[in-house]
Amino acid sequence: MGESNLAVDNFEYIDPITNVYNKYYLEKFYKDYKDKIIGLAILDFDNFKYINDTYGHIFGDKVLILLAQKLKKLNEDKGFIVRFSGDKFIVLYVDRPLEEINESITKIIDEFEDVFEFEGKKFLMTVSAGIYLGKPNEDLYEIIRRADVALNYSKRTKVNKMTVFEGILEEKIVRKTKLMACLKKALEDDEFYLVYQPIYDINLERIYEVEALARWKNKEFGEVPPVEFIPILEETGLIIDFGYAVLEKVFRQIKEWENMNINLTVNINISPVQISDMNFIEKVKSLKEKYNIDTNRIVFEITETQLIKADSKKRQIIKKLQELGISLALDDYGSDYSQINNVIKIPAKYIKISKEIVDLISEDYRVKLMIKCFIDLFNSLGYLIVAEGIESMHQFEYLKEIGCHKIQGYYISRPVDKEEIVKLVKHN
């Protein structure tokens, strides 16, 4: 269906800036074709706002014209282009299979990957897309909404530039929005609590350390796992208050155990936003005084990416934490894009090898050798190694053999409540 085949006899259907169809045309067109299978892709340019803000709207409009022309050319005989709003365009396909639409949108995305050059200025003009294949006679604005949900998913996750709408996606988004609305109240009502997972010292053959892990139990949603609520807390900035609440719970717990003659070191997970907060140090100090805790008992777990990206402010905070006697652990090493050379730059005492790496132990001998080399290297650099997610005796024995210092995982114990910890430590 070429654009030229569509007779347009009225300017009210043409976008005055870009000269492609506008949404009134889309509405009119859909009336005649609504019993067909309509595939709809929404495209959004990733940093168009930057162009407007930097070079002004007149320049922005000229760029928009070029983008529209390029889109039109790329789609000559497949779908037709509509400028929907701002820098959002729609490509409409009639009776085309999803694979074909995907292919055509992928081509568009690829075409916009290169640096865009105009009037002597160079900039990136990458594009993200959401696709939905409608059902015959489905409401046009419902089709658009679903493609838009998929587009937002592409933009937010940044995993792929193109997403095809699926029901599950919408469920996820609806759930996330609901959780988001609930979290502030949950924080006020103190619905969060901590469980503790023992960390077993291989040489001393005992537990004198635990990791505090947050749990959330909500009336409506039941138990929500931290991998789900922590990112939302981070996104909304609530993680700062949440983080303080966790710290306070841990300090209070250390004291409570101490009064029972149980002396444990506690590892606490810290989010990047928390170490950007200038009040962090003061808060830690005041908790130390309030509960009269030896801060040598505290380990903050931070992920590699956070530490690498540390700016001078964060570095300053990290230094002050160390002056307070708090140690740092590099959490989840080997799960993302870990680089050996990054480790050397990091002022951590512990390196926590991620479950992803530990899980490789049962594979061939070369993988095992690689893990041994890791541990030898970190050892000789002076780090203490904690392996996470140990589930089997086989993994345990191998890690012991190659000189890993500490072990954490279901093989030793799942995360448990404070009373269970007391029992475990007493029967060490």
Structure token pair of residue 137 = 């006679």
| Identified binder of ligand C2E from the candidate list 370, 410, 417, 428, rule CB under 6 A | 410
| DSSP helix/strand/coil, 416 | strand
Q: How far is the CB of 69 from ligand C2E (least distance, A)?
A: 47
Residues 371-400 interacting with ligand C2E (rule: CB under 6 A):
388-391
How far, in Å, CA of 307 to CA of 344, rounded?
A: 11
In the complex, the smallest distance separating the C-beta of residue 265 from ligand C2E, rounded to whole angstroms, is 15
Please report how close the Cβ of residue 301 comes to ligand C2E at its closest, in angstroms: 6
We find the least distance from the C-beta atom of residue 354 to ligand C2E, in angstroms, to be 7
- The two structure tokens encoding residue 262: 């149980």
- Which amino acid does the sequence have at 122? K
Whole-angstrom distance, CA of residue 146 vs CA of residue 131: 8
* Helix, coil or strand: residue 322: helix
- Binding partner of residue 415 among ligand C2E, Mg ion, none, CB under 5 to 8 Å per kind? ligand C2E
Residue of 102, 76, 85, 64 whose CA lies nearest to 6: 76
Tokens of 409: 């995982």
Contact between 133 and 36 (Cβ < 8 Å):
no
Q: How far is the CB of 125 from ligand C2E (least distance, A)?
A: 36
Maximum distance among all Cα pairs of the chain, rounded to whole angstroms: 87
Question: Least distance in Å: CB of 253 to ligand C2E?
Answer: 13
- 227, interface contact from Mg ion, ligand C2E, none, CB < 5-8 Å by kind: ligand C2E
Site string for ligand C2E, 193-232 (x = CB under 6 A): ----x---------------xx----------xxx--x--
> Among residues 104 and 269, whose Cβ is nearest to Mg ion?
269
Interface with ligand C2E in residues 299-328 (CB under 6 A): 301
> In the chain, how many H helices and how many E strands?
16, 16
Q: Which stretch binds ligand C2E (CB under 6 A): 96-104, 108-116, 263-271, 321-329?
A: 263-271
Residue 71 vs 317, nearer CB to ligand C2E: 317
Q: How far is the CB of 158 from ligand C2E (least distance, A)?
A: 20
Site map 332..371 versus ligand C2E, x via CB under 6 A: x----------------------x----------------
Going from the C-alpha of 349 to that of each of 26, 116, 247, 298, the distances in angstroms are: 61, 46, 20, 12
Q: Which of 113, 128, 116, 101 has the alpha carbon at shortest distance from 40?
A: 101
3 state SS of 52: helix
Which residues are near Mg ion by CB under 5 A? 269, 301, 331-332, 388
- Of the candidates 132, 124, 131, 128, which has an alpha carbon nearest to the alpha carbon of residue 160? 128
Which residues of this chain interact with ligand C2E, rule CB under 6 A?
Answer: 197, 213-214, 225-227, 230, 246, 269-271, 301, 331-332, 355, 388-391, 408-410, 415
